[in-house]
A and B are shown apart, each in its own frame.
Chain A
């Protein structure tokens, strides 16, 4: 780890002022990803600004009937919050599918959004990586790419976003509350993370002088019919090969509204709007589920070791939709 200076701040105005004044500074809260990246010399901040004392650690209702999750609420406290469990169980399940109990006790909601890819080459400073060093080349495209993207990748980067929580937030159409010295703004969740294109070093649309203050959930929680299904190389404590957040509002045997998002397949949590359109208003049949799944991977591209993900993604989508209808627990 490189040497760095340390500042603790106690209000949001100071936090954004401090970060705007020092281009080498980074915020730290849970630290579960940043400290790890610093140990690997992937991140080398000149200064850490400790934001854990900011008053962003509450979960409270919003005026429109939704729920505001403070950026500094720990992942475990969010997942086990009674209101979240009752009204947004998809989010609770997704959070609990990720990391370990210890890490969920440390990691914050804002930090979950900001975590960086788990691409092996991004972590290995001995290999070229466009995300770590723009223009260096991508080692994954012709390398070990079992965990890599099949949707929305570019010839510059095929990394995936590692979050489970964010897959549920994409399906729930959350929004990200952001503040800077200029004021506040709201970023729709679908526009928070980005695809790699020619600038894979940029993970999201948050500006360096901004801070996440909260994540807002809209009133619709899809608490009756939902499923978060995560497939990985071991049963627990591993990143997703493919995960699916499925949320349905049923109208008898038909699907009134479908929401579908995937993890482990793209540079961002992948909202499958095309599949949702196929499902909306249709009977909840295996045939329709398969048709929706096929639509998701219509433009999929794989890179050798991750070829299996195209079929796996379709199977996980179908299974997640079936479980969301039946509300049986995944085995």
Chain B
């Protein structure tokens, strides 16, 4: 960061440190990290921690490829500053499986062929985890509406909706999906 000041610069604050130390839990592991204020959560995950499962699509909150769970809630990591997540618990696509056992949504996406190129898939699955946890779905149309923040350029939407429906039905019936 350039800390020099032009003549006449009347900003009152003293020169800040370029980085701040933050603590985060990511997929169950505690991290202490030095981050610049302008680092997004998405860039922190991908560039600093090599957690490249979370994808950068539009980088403007319009496609949902970067969807992760922060304290259990789905958000767009591209529009979130990492420094503002100090103390939070983050779950990415890498944190959903239990060892070699896939998360029910991961299994359902495979069974329903709910992707083609796969680029949007980590965001779709993290978003679907949040969707189910939020508990506002009554109908198939509700799934479509509440998943509208996740764009799939390959057009796998019918199969994505079917995969989510299967997991929700299994949870309702108490049967393993």
B-binding residues in A (CB < 8 A): 1-8, 21-25, 28, 31-32, 35-36, 38-39, 46-48, 50, 52, 76, 80, 99-103, 105-106, 235-237
B1-38: contact bitstring with A at CB < 8 Å (1 yes, 0 no)? 11000000011110010101000000000000000111
Majority SS at the chain B contact face: loop
Measured between C-beta atoms, what is the minimum distance from A110 to chain B in Å?
16
Q: Which of A46, A47, A103, A236 is close to B61, meaning CB atoms less than 8 Å apart? A: A103
A124 to B61, CA, bound (A): 17
**Is B37's CB under 8 angstroms from A6's CB?**
yes
**Is A100's CB under 8 angstroms from B148's CB?**
yes
**Is B74's CB under 8 angstroms from A105's CB?**
yes
Q: Which of B13, B20, B144, B147 is close to A47, meaning CB atoms less than 8 Å apart? A: B13
Whether a CB of chain A sits under 8 angstroms from the CB of B81 is yes
Q: A1-B38, A50-B84, A80-B136 are in contact. Are A106 and B79 (CB under 8 A)?
A: yes
What residue of chain B has the Cβ atom nearest to residue A234's Cβ? B148
Q: A31-B84, A101-B74, A102-B75 are in contact. Are A237 and B149 (CB under 8 A)?
A: yes
**Is A36's CB under 8 angstroms from B11's CB?**
no
Q: Which of A32, A46, A76 is close to B79, meaning CB atoms less than 8 Å apart? A: A32
- With an 8 Å Cβ cutoff, the count of chain B residues facing the other chain is 40
Apart from A31-B80, A100-B61, A102-B61: 5 A-B pairs, beta carbons within 8 A? A1-B38, A3-B36, A6-B37, A46-B13, A48-B37
**Is B136's CB under 8 angstroms from A103's CB?**
no
Q: Which residues of B lie under 8 Å from residue A25 when comparing CB positions?
A: 13
Whether a CB of chain A sits under 8 angstroms from the CB of B145 is yes
**Is A46's CB under 8 angstroms from B11's CB?**
yes
**Is A24's CB under 8 angstroms from B11's CB?**
yes
Q: A101-B127, A103-B61 are in contact. Are A236 and B145 (CB under 8 A)?
A: yes
**Is A105's CB under 8 angstroms from B61's CB?**
no
B141-164: contact bitstring with A at CB < 8 Å (1 yes, 0 no)? 000111111100000000000000
Whether a CB of chain A sits under 8 angstroms from the CB of B96 is no
Q: Which residues of B lie under 8 Å from residue A1 when comparing CB positions?
A: 38
What residue of chain B has the Cβ atom nearest to residue A34's Cβ? B79
A2 to B40, CA, bound (A): 13
Measured between C-beta atoms, what is the minimum distance from A48 to chain B in Å?
7
Whether a CB of chain A sits under 8 angstroms from the CB of B64 is yes
**Is B10's CB under 8 angstroms from A101's CB?**
no
**Is A102's CB under 8 angstroms from B64's CB?**
yes
